[in-house]
Amino acid sequence: MKRTFLLLLGCWIVANPGTLLAQQSSQPLAHEAMAECSAGRVTQDRASRVSHFEKGQALAEQAVAVDDRSAGAHFALFCNLGELMRIDGEPSITSVMGFHRVTKELDRTLELAPDHLDALSAKGAFLLRLPSLLGGDREKGEKLLQYVLLKSPQSVNARLSLAKSYCADGRHGEALSLAFEALDLIQTYRWDDFAPEAEKVLAQLHASAAKAN
């Protein structure tokens, strides 16, 4: 059985050398692009952040050009484009047209890899943030994020997005609990690129909880 599988695999490689070569050559570019996205999140200086994200975008675009069927390449492009969009804070509803390319890359990622948990987490966050007229759906978004946490209990982004949604719904205790769990994960695994966002969300949650009381 094993010999048959190896024979079939060898035949596939011979028949599809271009596909295999594309996958191999796009992966390092996609990894570099994601590294730039992570570096930009940690950097405090605006000009340096823009530089990291623009470099990441360029690398991701190269990866997509090499292999359009690489979910990792499309997600890396989504990551850098999304961070560039919110370089000066969360984009307003008036800039929704700017989401077109970002959502296109996210949807392409999920088309190629339906169980891509980081992409599912981002999709859930989008459903929470957008108004219903533009495709937003809080209930669906929360369910998607809860699914991500079920599959990947260490997901920081899913926790932070859910925390913001719970806070908006007046569930301040649950929201703070999720945010503190996210911060604990960041400190435990030294995921420094998530720290600025977690601290920002915690500050927002504390302010909202204080207003409610």
Write out pLDDT tens, residues 137-188.
999 999 999 999 999 999 999 999 999 999 999 999 999 999 999 999 999 9
Burial 22-59 (b: 16+ CB within 10 A, else e): bbeebbebbebbbbbbbbbbebeeeeebeebbebbbbb
Check if the beta carbon of residue 106 is closer than 8 Å to that of residue 123.
Answer: yes
Q: Which of the four pLDDT bands, split at 50, 70 and 90, describes residue 119?
A: very high
- Residue 130: how many CB atoms within 10 A of its CB? 18
Q: How far apart are CA 70 and CA 30, in angstroms?
A: 9
Taking only the tens place, the pLDDT of each residue in 11-48 is 433 444 454 455 568 999 999 999 999 999 999 999 99
Domains plus CATH for the chain? 27-39+47-86+96-113 (1.25.40)
Collapsed DSSP state (helix, strand, coil) of residue 90: coil
pTM metric for this prediction = 0.85
